[in-house]
Amino acid sequence: MEKFIAEYARIYRFLYPLIFLFFTLGIFSIEINKPSLGEKLIQRIMENPETLLVGGLPILWISAAVIILGATSYFSGILYKFDLKIIYGPVLNKIDELISDMEELRH
């Protein structure tokens, strides 16, 4: 079981940053009223003429997104184990109890 958890933790190293990226892109494409929420935020930032842009986006936002993506990738193992504990914690505890009971019966 530990082997499977370790393998899935490696998969989630890429999955968690993708989830964050899609969530972030979704915020920029939500159209509450015309223009979208992301466009409104960019327009507000563009009012400052000293804002550095890369590809039409403020460099501060891009760097913050890269840092968050890196952090979610780095801490993906911890996040995955936390998710696993929340969702499947009682089931995994019961499986561990059953395995220990079977070990006792074997001896």
Instruction: Find the domain containing 75 and state its range.
Output: 2-106
What is the sign of the dihedral through the CA atoms of 100, 103, 105 and 107?
Answer: negative
pLDDT of residue 50: 77
> Of 27, 36, 30, 32, whose CA–CA distance to 61 is shortest?
27
Q: With contact defined as beta carbons under 8 Å apart, do 79 and 13 qualify? A: no
Q: Report which residue type is found at 81.
A: K
pLDDT digits (tens, 9 = 90+) for 22-79: 888 777 666 655 666 667 777 777 777 777 777 777 788 888 889 999 999 999 989 9
Q: How many domains does the chain have?
A: 1
